[in-house]
Amino acid sequence: MAERKSSIMGLIFQKKSLFCLFSVTSILFMLSWLFVLRLDHKFLRPMLSSTIVDGNSASQIQTHGKPLITSDRVIHEEELEGQRKDNLVTCNPNNMVLKVFMYDLPAEFHFELLDWKSEGKGVWPDIRNEVPHYPGGLNLQHSIDYWLTLDLLSSEFTETTNARSAVRVHNSSEADVIFVPFFSSLSYNRHSRVAQNQKRSTDQLLQEKLVKYVTSQDEWKRSAGKDHIVLAHHPNSLLYARWKLWPATYILSDFGRYPTNIANIDKDVIAPYKHVVKTFVNDSSGFDGRPTLLYFQGAIYRKDGGFIRQELFYLLKEEKDVHFAFGSVQKNGIRNATLGMRSSKFCLNIAGDTPSSNRLFDAIASHCVPVVISDEIELPYEDVLDYSKFCVFVRTSDALKDKFLVNLIRGIGREEWTRMWQRLKKVENLFEYQYPSKEGDAVQMIWQAVARKAPTMRMKAHRSKRFSHYDTREDGELRSVPLPRNLAE
């Protein structure tokens, strides 16, 4: 299974430039061949249409009653063509590796938050000897900063292979982007409470220190921060610094708690949560192996999300094959949720107090077709990934109509469901965080998403320099947005 998966992902990513070249030359070759034969050879017509025309090639072949295409090469070509349409490959022959300069921030901003202690002067652990452990449990769902930083550190001593999408460079003039390795989600999770003898939380103090550090660096001044990458995956992380560091590109879970001038889909990158239920390895369940039609397990929220959940509960509670229960998926509940998702065809993802949650990624890891009811949700790498192939999206206003949801779901038959289930098994790797990172996993996908933003970031950085020759103002001057009233002191 793992081998097969990696060979599929290999086809998608590693060989993509080769593959693009191969497809293009093969199609050109066939076209020229057909041209020579003046397109009137009766054996060739179906071949032309089946290879180049989208869709109903199979029926065309069948109408001729016998296998017209005997050449292995053509069939192979067709399969590849199908794979390409099926998967997320866009031709990118120069397969760029992103060059990343990482600030050597004091360890209190990163690995010390993991209780790692630096020995001597170094701020980074030597991960060839020891990889600091990340605290488990629900903290893990926002651990993106940890995996990205480990990947950058490891880029210095492992060979740059096709699997690697980013490398650390030490000369910031040569970098595409500047990475700020503050483990902001962990800082929020561990230190956001104001201790008795404190005026401000340790998390806030760290953020203030971070802003001071980063904005005084030459790299920040050079670009006014426009080529910087700052992590804030937990919706409440970076609560103060976000108002100062916003010229940077943020890596976020959604925009629920951000005004659009601070964060938006054009500027920023959406990263998946790390799923908390285990990946369903060797899943051979299929349509009949999943008796529950629709599964939902989650908390009730008092805000808007709570209203929708409550309404849906009343709409669905009479359906026998629907599991709809309140109570959060935590601790020993994870085991229960794992079993529940693995034995369900569809898994509901309803907006909570933020538009996104790790439940979507738990559903993907369980190969339970996600049904997303969250109008404001933003999805990772949606510029290269078509979620409609393995998720069902329902507008909130539709979902609240009587019978709408359940009729929609029951209307998805065995064949269509199976296609989505198989698709989930193919894409699950794109949402997997791991160290060492592997080709096409979440770490590499996030770097690639950053790489697709890099040209725009560079352009903005250049624009910010326009008047630098005579402007007496520091070019990288901090143009902060005023703190909202509830945060101002």
Residues that bind ligand NAG (CB under 6 A): 1, 171, 173-174, 281-282, 325, 336
Phi and psi torsions of 322, nearest 5° = -110, 130
Tokens representing residue 427 in the block: 């894409």
**Which of residues 331 and 395 has its CB atom nearest to ligand NAG in the complex?**
331
The minimum distance between CB 336 and ligand NAG, in angstroms, equals 4
The minimum distance between CB 332 and ligand NAG, in angstroms, equals 7
The minimum distance between CB 281 and ligand NAG, in angstroms, equals 4
The minimum distance between CB 279 and ligand NAG, in angstroms, equals 9
Query: Which positions ≥6 away from 191 have C-beta within 8 Å?
Result: 113, 201, 202, 203, 206
**Which of residues 89 and 347 has its CB atom nearest to ligand NAG in the complex?**
347
Q: Are 249 and 450 in contact (CB under 8 A)?
A: yes
**Which of residues 96 and 325 has its CB atom nearest to ligand NAG in the complex?**
325
The minimum distance between CB 282 and ligand NAG, in angstroms, equals 4
Residue 346 in 3-state DSSP? strand
Q: Spell out the long-range contacts of 103-107 with Cβ–Cβ below 8 A and sequence spacing 24 or more.
A: 103/178, 103/179, 103/180, 103/181, 103/213, 103/214, 103/217, 103/219, 105/180, 105/181, 105/182, 105/210, 105/213
The minimum distance between CB 12 and ligand NAG, in angstroms, equals 21
**Which of residues 1 and 28 has its CB atom nearest to ligand NAG in the complex?**
1
Q: Are 18 and 95 in contact (CB under 8 A)?
A: no
**Which of residues 53 and 325 has its CB atom nearest to ligand NAG in the complex?**
325
Task: Count CB atoms within 10 A of the CB of residue 452.
Answer: 17
**Which of residues 2 and 488 has its CB atom nearest to ligand NAG in the complex?**
2
CA-wise closest residue to 150 among 422, 436, 420: 436
The minimum distance between CB 329 and ligand NAG, in angstroms, equals 10
CA count, 13 A, side-chain hemisphere, 68: 20
Please state, in angstroms and rounded to a whole number, the distance separating the CA atoms of residues 273 and 361: 7
**Which of residues 329 and 351 has its CB atom nearest to ligand NAG in the complex?**
329
